[in-house]
Amino acid sequence: MAASAYLMYNAYFGFKESPFNLSPDPNFLYRSPQHEEALANLIYGVQSRKGFIVLTGEVGTGKTTMLECLRDYLAYQRVAFAFLFNSRITPTEFFEMIAYDLDLRCARNSKTEVLFALNQLLIHQANSGNTTVLIVDEAHNLEWDVLEEVRLLGNLENRQGKLIQVVLAGQPEFDRKLDAPNLRQLKQRVVLRCTLNPFEERETVEYVTTRLEKAGMQNQAVFSPELLAEVHRRSQGIPRLINAICDNLLLTAFAVEARVATMEMLDEVCTDMRLEWPGMRRRGPVASMGGLAGNPVYGVSYRD
Ligand SMILES: Nc1ncnc2c1ncn2[C@@H]1O[C@H](COP(=O)(O)OP(=O)(O)OP(=O)(O)O)[C@@H](O)[C@H]1O
Ligand SMILES: [Mg+2]
């Protein structure tokens, strides 16, 4: 959508910012119990120098958002960290990116030099009572040879614990990847695991309400409880899908100058998004509607 349309829709509803942006912005964090627990685990794992921490979750459940919160925490605590968000990299690029993020003064394309400079930094940090953190997002995409380098970094330790804390976040297939025989050693070193699951219905409602409040709308009346229940069902509680649906609903409401989003708008938005969900009814002739005719949720355009 054009930026001007956003500005207009924000003005129409009185938002300071767009409530359903797709970026992983910690300012819009909704502290669901599981997100709260995941963040507490990440922070605890790093602070207690546990070594390897793994965060997994389905697509769009908030992994990168958690990492962004961790990054904010580390920056606030002045803990040095490298954040690799692109995981489709070669071992050489891996070391280059670490050197760049940690501002290592060495020939960044030489693994030997980077390892040497990194070791110096880790020891220096440890001697001053600090730790250093490596965060890798999309870890399911890491090639075996890069994972092996990650494992070897985890071997660096002194008497107080690991010199570098490694946080690996990825889709559930990452957990399965760790089960591979050649990754047994890495798997054994994982001391903390956290998982993000889709929201329960109550959480979806709180999530949407929280985002609207943060954007400047108190006591929202744009989305009725029935509509939110249906948004939950169709998004299956996945935050990114909830955002996309709600954003489109607000835009549609704005376009027709409505103050309240309706089930018809939701149908239209889901069709435009080509969204599919368990138990969805596909478009078809009214004749086969059976008992669903007149149901405000399904309108008249769905059949079994
Ligand atoms: N607890 C939360 N509070 C606020 N927003 C959230 C939360 N969890 C997820 N989101 C929002 O949902 C969207 C998807 O989140 P995010 O990008 O962190 O998911 P992801 O698990 O990293 O997805 P992917 O598997 O595609 O990398 C973002 O817009 C993010 O802001
Ligand atoms: Mg992500």
Structure tokens at 198: 């889709």
In the prediction, which pLDDT does 1 show?
57
Minimum-distance ligand to the CA of 23?
A: 1
Nearest to 69, CA basis, from 37, 33, 24? 24
Give the CA-trace dihedral at 22, 28, 34, 37, to 10 degrees.
Answer: 130
* Token pair of 120 as six digits: 């110096």
Q: What pLDDT is recorded for position 300?
A: 28
- Give strand pairing partners of 84: 136
Type of residue numbered 254: F
* Pair of tokens at residue 55: 């965060």
**DSSP character string of 177-210:** HHTSGGGHHHHHHEEEEEEE-PPPHHHHHHHHHH
pLDDT value at residue 283: 59
Hey, which of 17, 61, 88, 197 would you mutate to test ligand 1's pocket, going by the most ligand atoms within 8 Å of its Cβ? 61
Which among 109, 111, 121 is positioned nearest to 164, based on CA atoms?
121
What residues line ligand 1, using a CB cutoff of 6 Å?
22, 24-25, 28-30, 32, 35, 57, 59-65, 171, 239-240, 243
Cα–Cα distance between 80 and 74 in angstroms, integer?
7
Atom of ligand 1 nearest to the CA of 35: 1
Quote the CA–CA distance of 116 and 156 in Å, as a whole number.
Answer: 12
> Given this model, what pLDDT does residue 35 score?
97
H/E element, 10: helix 3-13
- Taking the centre of ligand 2 as the mean of its atom positions, its distance from the CA of residue 52, in whole angstroms, is 19
E-strand stretches of the chain: 52-57, 80-84, 132-136, 157-158, 161-162, 164-170, 190-196, 282-283, 302-303
Under-70 pLDDT residues of the chain: 1-3, 283-304
Integer angstrom CA distances of residue 184 from 145, 153, 187, 199, 208: 14, 16, 5, 32, 41
Amino acid 201 reads E
Substitution candidate for ligand 1 out of 55, 61, 240, 247 with most atoms within 8 A of CB = 240
